[in-house]
Structure 1
Amino acid sequence: MDNFTPKNLTLEDVNYCLWRYFQESNFTFTQKIFEEESSILQSEQVKKNNAPEGELVSLIQKGLQYKEITEEYLRQQSNDSINEEQLSENQNEVNKWNLFDQQQVSILYGHTSEVNVCQWSPTENLLASGSGDSTARIWKILDTTDLDLKSREIQKPHVLQHLYSNEKVKDVTSLHWNHDGKYLATGSYDGRARIWTSTGEPKTTYSGHSGPIFSLKWNSTGEYLLSGSVDKTTIVWDINTGEIKQQFDFHNGPTLDVDWLDERTFASCGTDKIIQICQLDSSKPIKTFSGHLDEVNNVKWNDEGSLLASCSDDHTVKIWKMSEDSFLYSFEEHTKEVNSINWNRNGLLATGGFDFLIKVWDPNVMECVYTLDKHESPVYSIAFSPDGRYLASGSLDKLLHIWSVKDGRLLRTYQGKSGIFEVSWNKDGDKIAASFNDGTLAVIELRKGDLEVLNN
Structure 2
Amino acid sequence: MAFSPDGQHVAVGVDDGSVQILSVTSREHHTVPQLNHLDAVNSIAFGPDGSIASASADGTVRIWNPASGRSVGPLTGHQGPVYGVAFSPDGRVLASGGSDNNVLLWDAATGKRIGAPLSGHTDVVRSVAFSPDGRLLASGSEDRTVRVWDVASTQSPPITLSGHNAEVTGVAFTPDSKFVASSSWDRNARLWDPGFSSWAQTGCALVNRNMSMSEWTALLPGRPYERTCPNLPSGPGAPPGAPSIR
The two structures have a TM-score, normalised by structure 1, of 0.40
Give 1:228's match in structure 2, choosing from 9, 13, 22: 13
Q: Is the 8 A contact 2:48 2:90 kept in 1?
A: no
Shift in Å at residue 305 of structure 1?
1.1
Give 1:339's match in structure 2, choosing from 123, 126, 147: 126
User: Which one has more relative contact order, counting CA pairs under 8 Å at least 6 apart?
Assistant: 1
Structure 2 residue 173 is the aligned partner of structure 1 residue 384: yes
Structure 2 residue 135 is the aligned partner of structure 1 residue 350: no
TM-aligned CA distance change 1:229 to 1:321, over 3 Å: same
- The count of corresponding residues between Structure 1 and Structure 2 is 197
TM-aligned CA distance change 1:349 to 1:285, over 3 Å: same
Give the Cα–Cα distance (whole angstroms) in 2 for the partners of residues 411 and 225 of structure 1: 43
TM-aligned CA distance change 1:409 to 1:288, over 3 Å: same
Give the Cα–Cα distance (whole angstroms) in 2 for the partners of residues 311 and 411 of structure 1: 32
Structure 2 residue 86 is the aligned partner of structure 1 residue 300: yes
TM-aligned CA distance change 1:375 to 1:223, over 3 Å: closer
Give the Cα–Cα distance (whole angstroms) in 2 for the partners of residues 403 and 411 of structure 1: 15
Larger radius of gyration: 1
Q: Is the 8 A contact 1:290 1:326 kept in 2?
A: no
Q: Is the 8 A contact 1:299 1:308 kept in 2?
A: yes
Give the partner amino acid of 1:236: I
Task: Using the TM superposition, name which of 219-228 and 244-253 deviates more.
Answer: 244-253
Give the Cα–Cα distance (whole angstroms) in 2 for the partners of residues 384 and 307 of structure 1: 17
Give 2:150's match in structure 1, choosing from 362, 371, 393: 362
Q: Is the 8 A contact 1:317 1:331 kept in 2?
A: yes
Task: Using the TM superposition, name which of 388-397 and 219-228 deviates more.
Answer: 388-397
Q: Gaps spanning 5+ residues in structure 2: where?
A: 203-246
Give 2:61's match in structure 1, choosing from 265, 275, 288: 275
Shift in Å at residue 378 of structure 1?
1.6
TM-aligned CA distance change 1:323 to 1:375, over 3 Å: same
Q: Is the 8 A contact 1:246 1:281 kept in 2?
A: no
In structure 2, the residue matched to 1:126 is none
Give the Cα–Cα distance (whole angstroms) in 2 for the partners of residues 320 and 335 of structure 1: 22
Q: Is the 8 A contact 1:217 1:227 kept in 2?
A: yes
Structure 2 residue 27 is the aligned partner of structure 1 residue 242: yes
3-state SS of 1:368 partner:
coil
Q: Is the 8 A contact 1:394 1:401 kept in 2?
A: yes
The Cα offsets for residues 15-58 of structure 1, whole Å up to 9 and x where unpaired, read as xxxxxxxxxxxxxxxxxxxxxxxxxxxxxxxxxxxxxxxxxxxx
Structure with the higher fraction of residues in helix conformation: 1
Give the partner amino acid of 1:344: S
3-state SS of 2:153 partner:
coil
Give the partner amino acid of 2:151: P
Give the Cα–Cα distance (whole angstroms) in 1 for the partners of residues 15 and 106 of structure 2: 24
**CA root-mean-square deviation:** 2.6
TM-aligned CA distance change 1:342 to 1:284, over 3 Å: closer
3-state SS of 1:409 partner:
helix
In structure 1, the residue matched to 2:37 is 251
Give the partner amino acid of 1:404: D
Identity of aligned residues (%): 24
The two structures have a TM-score, normalised by structure 2, of 0.71
Q: Gaps spanning 5+ residues in structure 1: where?
A: 1-215, 413-456
Shift in Å at residue 375 of structure 1?
2.7
Q: Is the 8 A contact 1:238 1:245 kept in 2?
A: no
Q: Is the 8 A contact 1:351 1:360 kept in 2?
A: yes
Give the Cα–Cα distance (whole angstroms) in 2 for the partners of residues 308 and 318 of structure 1: 8
Shift in Å at residue 390 of structure 1?
1.6
Give the partner amino acid of 2:103: V
Structure 2 residue 193 is the aligned partner of structure 1 residue 404: yes
